[in-house]
Amino acid sequence: MSQHDLKLGHPRCGDCPIRHRAVCARCEPNELEALDAIKYYRSFEAGQTVIWSGDRMDFVASVVSGIATLTQTMEDGRRQMVGLLLPSDFVGRPGRATAAYDVTATTDLVMCCFRKKPFEDMMASTPHISQRLLEMTLDELDAAREWMLLLGRKTAREKIASLLAILARRDASLKAGAGACSFDLPLSREEMADYLGLTLETVSRQISALKREGIIALEGKRHIKVADFDRLTEQTGDDTDGGVLS
């Protein structure tokens, strides 16, 4: 796949970087060709809104690269992030006309879009797609419920530690570093606050506290070095054994 193809909006599905994890993961070569025919790419710059809650939404999409957020906003401005969309994650709901949440690009973002009608037609004729979508939706439901525990019962300290641990693990799995690891925060303090159900001041204070205690170190505002991953995990409030038996 060349840069040129990307800009034309039609890299081959077979060469797609998210091919093995996205909604199309289970598709056969001929099914991929059908998808190839109806897909189109859209790019967004960091900070841009993809769609507003309540707006007509005539497409569904997969995140190809970059990060997007799903947020809900109350009349008085209180905001809660209800989902973080990473590459391969799916946006939109077949069979629904309008967006249920604000979708925002927090980094530069590329999405692989399908107009809803053709996609729904393909779903009806392609069990591999709906099977995979069901699986992904069940995973998202589990993630949402884990987040409910965090929002309802964890302290500010535990919330921050949990988020950092998740982000660290995500990057560690790519880098295979054992004791120490480091990564860039994909979210601003305010976005972290919206995700964790806190204020940005509390987020900042807790990060400073973790730094003071030597559990993490900062380079600039956005780069985190985790000195000792175990000590960070202790702060999350989660089971220490990590559910070995499951």
Summarize as ranges the residues that interact with DNA (CB under 7 A): 155-157, 188-190, 197-205, 207-208, 218, 220-222
- Cβ 233 to a second copy, closest distance in Å? 13
Is-contact 98 56, C-beta < 8 A? yes
Which of a second copy, DNA, none does residue 245 bind to, with CB < 5 to 8 Å depending on kind?
a second copy
Is-contact 106 46, C-beta < 8 A? yes
- Cβ 66 to DNA, closest distance in Å? 17
Q: Return the number of the residue (173 or 208) whose C-beta is nearest DNA.
A: 208
Question: What does the alpha-carbon distance between residue 143 and residue 68 come to, in Å, rounded to a whole number?
Answer: 16
Which of DNA, a second copy, none does residue 156 bind to, with CB < 5 to 8 Å depending on kind?
DNA
Max intra-chain CA distance, the chain: 57
- Cβ 184 to a second copy, closest distance in Å? 24
Q: Which helix (H) or strand (E) holds 71?
A: strand 68-73
48 contacts a second copy (rule: CB under 8 A)? no
- Cβ 189 to DNA, closest distance in Å? 4
Stretch that binds a second copy, among 16-24, 137-145, 204-212, 219-227 (CB under 8 A): 137-145
Question: What does the alpha-carbon distance between residue 53 and residue 29 come to, in Å, rounded to a whole number?
Answer: 35
144 contacts a second copy (rule: CB under 8 A)? yes
Question: What does the alpha-carbon distance between residue 31 and residue 24 come to, in Å, rounded to a whole number?
Answer: 9
- If you search the block for the tokens 């991929």, which residue do you land on? 32
Task: Encode 165-200: b = buried (16+ Cβ within 10 Å), e = exposed.
Answer: bebbeebbeeeeeeeebbbebbbebebbbbbbbbee
- Which residues of this protein are in contact with a second copy, per CB under 8 A? 54, 70, 72, 74-76, 78-80, 82-83, 93, 95, 98, 100-101, 127, 130-131, 133-135, 137-138, 140-142, 144-149, 151-153, 196-197, 237-240, 243, 245-246
